Amino acid sequence: MRFLNITNYYYNSYPNIFFLVDYYKQCVIKIKNNINNYFENKQEKGLVENNIFLLGEHIIFSLLGFMFFSTEEWLWDITMTWEHHLNLNIIVYYILYTTRYLVQIQMLTGKEKDYQSMMTHHISTVLLLTLSFFHYHRIGVVIALSHDVGDLLLLPAKLCHKFYETRKISILNTLSYAYFIAFLIIFFLTRICLNSEIILHIIDTFFYVTGNFQLYNPNIYSEGYVLFFLLFVNLGLQIFWQIMIIKFAYNLMITGKPKDEKDNEYFKKEQ
């Protein structure tokens, strides 16, 4: 009965998702404009507001996630993430997280250098969240939280570097190096190692039940197969981005300057 009440709550809330997405989008635009208006330096206007907003967004969602789930045993034990038990915390977190990514999809202009990979990632994330809601919501929470943690280090690195370029404060350059090195380590652990561990656990648990590989397993819900495919897509994107990060790090060691072609093009365009 409790499960049915929670399910009905989710479905009754769904018509309001479109209103929530529109409201969230308007808030994003307003906050970014306020951040942009704060800077008087023309080189910084239109350049840093997105990273500042994203940093705040990641902080809020990380705190929200850990506030809701840090005491849950299944968050720290991968063998328990395949059990399902819906509660209000999961419903609220899922609705807000899905809204966040739907707004990000709407705000992609097509002019971004990594537009295709970002669009693929955002769409697969929304599909993953939707399909995992009823029976695989625990793994959805783990993936969402692990993704936010890494970006908490990348965005400060980018901001420190941008402010170093415009204000020539040497400590900011040092901080950008430190944040980036920490991000490189956390990205590998949360995006590559954790995702790989999840996929290997899926294969071992669901497809090698009898000791031999079998594609069909009656214990897998119908949406599970699509969900598992999306996990592979997500891992592929993370590996692609890890390669890009390694190339960035290599350029950093060779030239001594943390340059990102996409950011540099955007920086020059806004001057």
Asked if the model's pLDDT at residue 271 lies above 80, the reply is no
Q: What is the pLDDT of residue 262?
A: 46
Contact 55, 152 (CB under 8 A): yes
225 or 213, greater pLDDT:
225
Asked if the model's pLDDT at residue 251 lies above 70, the reply is yes
Q: What is the pLDDT of residue 150?
A: 80
User: What average pLDDT score do residues 215-229 get?
Assistant: 75
Q: pLDDT digit string (tens) for 134-163?
A: 888 888 899 899 888 888 998 898 888 888
User: What average pLDDT score do residues 104-111 get?
Assistant: 84
User: What average pLDDT score do residues 84-109 get?
Assistant: 89
Most confident region among 84-88, 183-187, 244-248 by mean pLDDT: 183-187
Q: What is the pLDDT of residue 42?
A: 65
Question: How big is the chain by its Cα radius of gyration, in Å?
Answer: 20
Q: What is the pLDDT of residue 97?
A: 92
Q: What is the pLDDT of residue 257?
A: 58
**Residue 27 CA: distances (Å) to CA of 32, 103, 104, 119, 268:** 8, 10, 12, 21, 28
Nearest to 135 by CA among 166, 90, 171, 100: 90
Q: What is the pLDDT of residue 5?
A: 47
Asked if the model's pLDDT at residue 60 lies above 60, the reply is yes
Handedness of CA 175, 180, 186, 187 (dihedral sign): positive
Asked if the model's pLDDT at residue 67 lies above 90, the reply is yes
**Residue 195 CA: distances (Å) to CA of 8, 113, 153, 231, 265:** 32, 25, 19, 8, 32
Model confidence at 65, in pLDDT bands (50, 70, 90)?
very high
Model confidence at 62, in pLDDT bands (50, 70, 90)?
very high
Q: Assign 3-class secondary structure to 201-265.
A: HHHHHHCCCCCCCCCCCCCCCHHHHHHHHHHHHHHHHHHHHHHHHHHHHHHHHHHCCCCCHHHHH
User: What average pLDDT score do residues 74-91 get?
Assistant: 86
Most confident region among 51-65, 105-119, 120-134, 224-238 by mean pLDDT: 51-65
User: What average pLDDT score do residues 232-250 get?
Assistant: 85
User: What average pLDDT score do residues 258-264 get?
Assistant: 47
Q: What is the pLDDT of residue 61?
A: 94
